[in-house]
Amino acid sequence: MASNIGKYEDARKSFDWNIAKKELGWKEGEPLNIGALCSDRICDLGDAEKTALIWEGFGDKHKSYSFADLRAYSNGFAKLLEEQGIKPGDRVCIFMDKIPSLYFSFLGILKMGGVAQPLFSAFGDESLHVRLDSAGARAILTTKKHVRKVRKILADLPALEKVIVVDGDGSKLKDDELFFDVEAAPRVDSYDCYPSTPETPSVLHYTSGTTGQPKGAQHVHSSGWGQYLTTKWVLDLKKDDIYWCTAGPGWVTGTSYGIIGPWSLGVTQCVLDVGFGAAMGYKFIQDNKISIWYSAPTAIRSLMRQGTDTVNEFDLSTLRHLASVGEPLNAEAVVWSEKAYGLPFHDTFWQTETGSMMIANYPGMTIKPGSMGKPFPGIEATVLDLKTHEPLTEPGKVGLIAFRPGWPSMFREYRSKPEIYRSKFVGEMKDKEVSKLHLAKDLWYVSGDRASIDKDGYYWFVGRDDDVINTGGHLVGHFEIESALIEHEAVAEAAAIGKPDAVNMEVVKAFVTLNPGYEATGDLELKIMNFIRKRLSPLAMPQEIEFSEKLPKTRSGKILRRYLKALEWGEDVGDLSTLEDD
Ligand code: WT7
């Protein structure tokens, strides 16, 4: 079967983003709404009765929904929000497990012109608070299981007017909370979508950096073009495929490729809303006849550990294409998957900020295990010299991965942080308006990662260019962890780094100096752990706290996390001349 992309080189040569616009039936000047693209349009094309979502939850619960259901239930949420006084442009947070209403409400928010802010349901109240506050969210859609976290912080969120609980029976809610069960409410088969334009804000995703609180990367409706075409060409989704994206919509993979990409193509997708184990995942593939699987290196490494015997207990013969994202995919994992499933995992590289895949291994292309592949057709990529920021021309030299602005799914700002947004670009910045940077063809958007390009044009990931920790595909900023640690009375200073881990690639390790009068004991470590557990998301929790007499610093007093990390990884500690004197 020929792949959607055909020959990579040919696709690259003749590329034009108008391909996506044309295939999606969009003409200049017409409205563009992702909510409509993913449901109304598919129904109008004659696939109203086709299955859109196959969902499996705790206790062996199974449900399935057609594109007509997707249309009606997303309309239901759009209408509700409108009736509740939510206006186009308002941020509406979705805070729930991967239940069907998450998917319906996401499209519903977009349909009424709102900005969808999906958040990972395991966030503790502090992680939730920071993000809701920054977004200035006016409404939150949640479930009876998670509403208690919202209650704890509501008084500190003046903009948050509506708390809507979407499951249960509406009992035990507070007076100011609203109950709305979309499947029990009258079905809304038609709804006039907000006439958003390609530049209307759509999805707001928070991502971690090295300084300050998480940053809100704001996307716009034109992202749909990029997500549509990359899903079609990189994941190779075709009409009859059954697709599974393991990521939840609290993360960008779960919206770009767990909602928008597949549904804009009218493809059936599966959601497994329970913890992930090898046997469970394989059974899910077997039962649902999944053909395309988009996963992450951490999951793949844990499957490797379970071995091929587990694989052989299941019928996985429907699988035809596998892809991965989030962290470096080890060469061993690619080789193993070829042995275990008869198919290699295809690595893809992108970010919350890029909104869609930037560098990838394409169906039919020769894979070099361990390489991220080549830039998507239509994406101009390079690696820049670490100091001069000039594109490197010599194969194999390590530089900063950078992209020429202008692709449709690129983020348009970090919410309320124009200077940080500006700092992501290099080139002639003078006289450039911050609102036009995403179009500036003479600048480079710098990703914050290092890589080299080989003589055949393949990209090889080297590492992050900053101190952000990537644990199991989730970015965690050291600032968040250190801030939580130093709130404890015993802690004087703290430094958080990633330490090597066989499955998660990195886990968080914290170094701590103590205030006078405190002793470094196991008991104290436990107390500090319990203290920060309430403040941090489970992903950001240190696996280990090491007490030190002092932390290594630069002469100007900055903690040298790079040094601590190099020691931890057994690497050369490099140039120590910037270390402060004793
Ligand atoms: C960062 C972006 C985009 C989906 C999930 C993560 C790292 C991503 C790869 C890869 C090595 C990768 C980078 C990147 N990353 N894909 N294939 N190989 N590293 O989104 O949370 O914004 O993280 O994840 O460091 O900058 P994100």
- Three-class SS of 307-368: HHHHHHCCCCCCCCEEEEECCCCCHHHHHHHHHHHCCCEEEEECCCCCCCCCEECCCCCCCC
CA 281 – CA 298 distance, rounded (Å)? 14
The band of 89, judged by pLDDT with boundaries at 50, 70 and 90, is very high
CA 52 – CA 31 distance, rounded (Å)? 24
Q: How far is CA 241 from CA 4, 282, 287, 425, 487, in A?
A: 13, 17, 14, 39, 50
pLDDT over threshold 60, residue 580? no
- Residue-wise pLDDT for 488-500, tens only, equals 999 988 999 999 9
3-state secondary structure of 104: helix
Tokens of 105: 């409400």
The band of 231, judged by pLDDT with boundaries at 50, 70 and 90, is very high
DSSP β-bridge partners for residue 186: none
Mean pLDDT (the chain, rounded): 94
Decide: 485 and 522 in contact? Cβ < 8 Å. no
The model's pTM is 0.93
Mutation test residue for ligand 1: of 206, 475, 476, 539, the one with most atoms within 8 Å of CB: 475
pLDDT over threshold 70, residue 579? no
CA 582 – CA 568 distance, rounded (Å)? 22
**564 Cα: distance to centroid of ligand 1 (angstroms):** 23
* Residue with CA closest to ligand 1 atom 18: 328
**Which ligand 1 atom is the nearest neighbour of the CA of 347?**
17
**Which of 51, 191, 30, 207 has its CA nearest to residue 109?**
191
The single-letter code of the amino acid at 168 is: G
- Residue-wise pLDDT for 193-208, tens only, equals 999 999 999 999 999 8
**473 Cα: distance to centroid of ligand 1 (angstroms):** 7
The band of 253, judged by pLDDT with boundaries at 50, 70 and 90, is very high
**30 Cα: distance to centroid of ligand 1 (angstroms):** 34
Q: For residue 65, what is the DSSP state?
A: E
CA 537 – CA 529 distance, rounded (Å)? 12
CA 77 – CA 180 distance, rounded (Å)? 9
pLDDT over threshold 50, residue 157? yes
**Which ligand 1 atom is the nearest neighbour of the CA of 359?**
17
The band of 577, judged by pLDDT with boundaries at 50, 70 and 90, is low
Decide: 509 and 546 in contact? Cβ < 8 Å. yes
- Residues in contact with 523: Cβ distance below 8 Å, sequence separation at least 6, in sequence order: none
- Which secondary structure element, helix H or strand E, spans residue 285, and what is its range? helix 278-288
**124 Cα: distance to centroid of ligand 1 (angstroms):** 23
- Please provide residue 37's backbone torsions phi and psi, each rounded to the nearest 5 degrees: -60, -40
CA 198 – CA 264 distance, rounded (Å)? 15
Domain-wise residue ranges, the chain: 1-30+222-378, 67-221, 380-466, 467-582
The single-letter code of the amino acid at 314 is: F
**Angle value at C-alpha 465, between 464 and 467, nearest 5 degrees:** 75
Could you check whether 1-30+222-378 and 67-221 share the same CATH topology?
A: yes
Q: For residue 186, what is the DSSP state?
A: P
The band of 581, judged by pLDDT with boundaries at 50, 70 and 90, is very low
Which of 3.10.20.740, 3.30.300.30, 3.40.50.300, 3.30.70.1400 is the CATH number of 467-582?
Answer: 3.30.300.30
pLDDT over threshold 90, residue 387? yes
CATH code reported for the domain at 380-466:
2.30.38.10
Span 102-107, mean pLDDT? 99
The band of 575, judged by pLDDT with boundaries at 50, 70 and 90, is low
CATH architecture of 1-30+222-378: 3-Layer(aba) Sandwich (3.40)
* Residue with CA closest to ligand 1 atom 19: 327
Residue 350 neighbours by CB distance under 10 Å: 27
Within 6 A (CB) of ligand 1 lie 207, 252-253, 325-329, 347-352, 372, 447-449, 461, 464, 470, 475
CA 1 – CA 11 distance, rounded (Å)? 17
The band of 573, judged by pLDDT with boundaries at 50, 70 and 90, is confident
- Which secondary structure element, helix H or strand E, spans residue 446, and what is its range? strand 444-453
**474 Cα: distance to centroid of ligand 1 (angstroms):** 8
Span 398-406, mean pLDDT? 97
**Which ligand 1 atom is the nearest neighbour of the CA of 372?**
17
Tokens of 136: 């200035």
Mutation test residue for ligand 1: of 230, 257, 374, 449, the one with most atoms within 8 Å of CB: 449
CA 501 – CA 509 distance, rounded (Å)? 11
**351 Cα: distance to centroid of ligand 1 (angstroms):** 5
Residue 487 neighbours by CB distance under 10 Å: 13
CA 289 – CA 175 distance, rounded (Å)? 45
Mutation test residue for ligand 1: of 230, 252, 424, 470, the one with most atoms within 8 Å of CB: 470
Four-residue CA torsion sign, 295, 297, 298, 299: positive
The band of 574, judged by pLDDT with boundaries at 50, 70 and 90, is low
**50 Cα: distance to centroid of ligand 1 (angstroms):** 33
End-to-end CA distance of the chain: 67
- Residue-wise pLDDT for 439-490, tens only, equals 999 999 999 999 999 999 999 999 899 888 999 999 988 888 998 898 899 9
**Which ligand 1 atom is the nearest neighbour of the CA of 348?**
17
**514 Cα: distance to centroid of ligand 1 (angstroms):** 34
pLDDT over threshold 70, residue 578? no
**254 Cα: distance to centroid of ligand 1 (angstroms):** 13
- Which secondary structure element, helix H or strand E, spans residue 532, and what is its range? helix 522-533
**Which of 357, 358, 416, 423 has its CA nearest to residue 389?**
423
The band of 582, judged by pLDDT with boundaries at 50, 70 and 90, is very low
**Which ligand 1 atom is the nearest neighbour of the CA of 464?**
25
Tokens of 140: 């939150």
- Residue-wise pLDDT for 264-307, tens only, equals 999 999 999 997 788 999 999 999 999 999 999 989 988 998 89
CA 263 – CA 242 distance, rounded (Å)? 11
CATH architecture of 67-221: 3-Layer(aba) Sandwich (3.40)
**Which of 84, 65, 90 has its CA nearest to residue 159?**
90
**Which of 107, 117, 113 has its CA nearest to residue 263?**
107
**256 Cα: distance to centroid of ligand 1 (angstroms):** 14
* Residue with CA closest to ligand 1 atom 23: 351
**501 Cα: distance to centroid of ligand 1 (angstroms):** 17
